[in-house]
Amino acid sequence: MPVKIVPLTKKQLVEYFQPYREAFPDWGVEHDLMLTRTHGPLKQAIHFQALRSGAYRPSNAIDILMRVPDGCSVLHKHLDVKHREVLAREHATKWPLVLKAMEEQFLPSIRKPLDVAETLRLTEEEADRDRIDNINYSTGLAVLNAYLGKVERAIYWCGRVEETATHLGRPLGDWETRKRRYVLELQQAVKAGKEREFLS
């Protein structure tokens, strides 16, 4: 007889989330299922998602807390295949292994202080390594460089947004149009030496 797959309820997921919560006493909690911490223009979030398979899956991302239209996030990460999903029956024995994998694989390090310069370095490395060329990522890199006063790199990433928008091969979505307009304004501010005023 086939096993019936039942998705986790939110109540179950909140229960499975609890030991992770206790492992990060200095982090905040949002929506009962997301660990968060902030520093300057950054918010790091570890989200726990219930899957149709009856498992849950943690993921990591950095949100850039500037007035970027429609928000902006970078460094999205799921764990390796061995630790990516945790079935309810596995939780009791597997969660410590998943926690260790999170500590080893999520970037920036979830056990070190959140640092803007380190986050920028990691994001640029990922964009180059994985050839990420989209409006969201380039916008995030333009903003972080401008925030740190790296004028030439900020202008470079602003240019990448415009280049991507021009060569996308399809009409821009509304969110892409809003980001493109924002980045053009950011570029003007950076060239005028007013990036701090623009970003504040």
Residues 177 and 94 in one domain: no
Closest CA to 153 of 113, 107, 117, 198: 117
pLDDT of residue 3: 60
Residues 17 and 77 in one domain: yes
pLDDT of residue 5: 73
Residue 169 lies in a domain: yes
Q: What angle do CA 47, 49, 50 make, to 5 degrees?
A: 160
Number of alpha carbons in the 13 Å side-chain half-sphere of residue 38:
9
Q: Write down which residue in 105, 124, 159 finishes a domain.
A: 105
pTM of the model: 0.91
β-pairing, 55-64 with 42-50? antiparallel
Residues 22 and 82 in one domain: yes
pLDDT of residue 152: 97
Residues 83 and 20 in one domain: yes
Q: Where are the beta strands (DSSP E) in the chain?
A: 28-30, 34-39, 42-50, 55-64, 73-78, 86-87
Residue 98 lies in a domain: yes
Residue 30 host element (H or E): strand 28-30
Average pLDDT for runs of 10 along the chain of length 200? 74 95 97 96 96 94 93 96 95 97 98 97 93 91 97 96 90 94 97 94
pLDDT of residue 6: 78
Give the residues across from 8 on adjacent strands: none
Residues 154 and 98 in one domain: no
Query: How many beta carbons lie within 10 A of that of residue 136, not counting itself?
Result: 21
Residues 33 and 97 in one domain: yes
Residues 95 and 138 in one domain: no
Closest CA to 185 of 133, 121, 142, 138: 142
Q: Write down which residue in 87, 105, 123 finishes a domain.
A: 105
| Total domains present in the chain | 2
Question: In the numeric block, which tokens belong to residue 136?
Answer: 């969201």
Residues 29 and 69 in one domain: yes
pLDDT of residue 200: 86
Its domain, for residue 139, covers 133-199
Closest CA to 80 of 108, 49, 102: 102
Residues 98 and 33 in one domain: yes
Residue 138 lies in a domain: yes
Tell me if residue 45 falls in helix, strand or coil: strand
Residue 115 lies in a domain: no
Residues 150 and 93 in one domain: no
Q: What is the DSSP letter of 107?
A: S
Alpha-carbon distance of 39 to 183, in angstroms, equals 23
Alpha-carbon distance of 179 to 193, in angstroms, equals 21
Residues 158 and 100 in one domain: no
- Residue 84 burial class via C-beta count within 10 angstroms: exposed 0-12, middle 13-18, buried 19 and up: middle
pLDDT of residue 2: 58
Tell me if residue 173 falls in helix, strand or coil: coil
Alpha-carbon distance of 15 to 91, in angstroms, equals 10
Q: Write down which residue in 105, 125, 147 finishes a domain.
A: 105
- Residue 139 burial class via C-beta count within 10 angstroms: exposed 0-12, middle 13-18, buried 19 and up: buried
Residues 19 and 94 in one domain: yes
Residue 128 lies in a domain: no
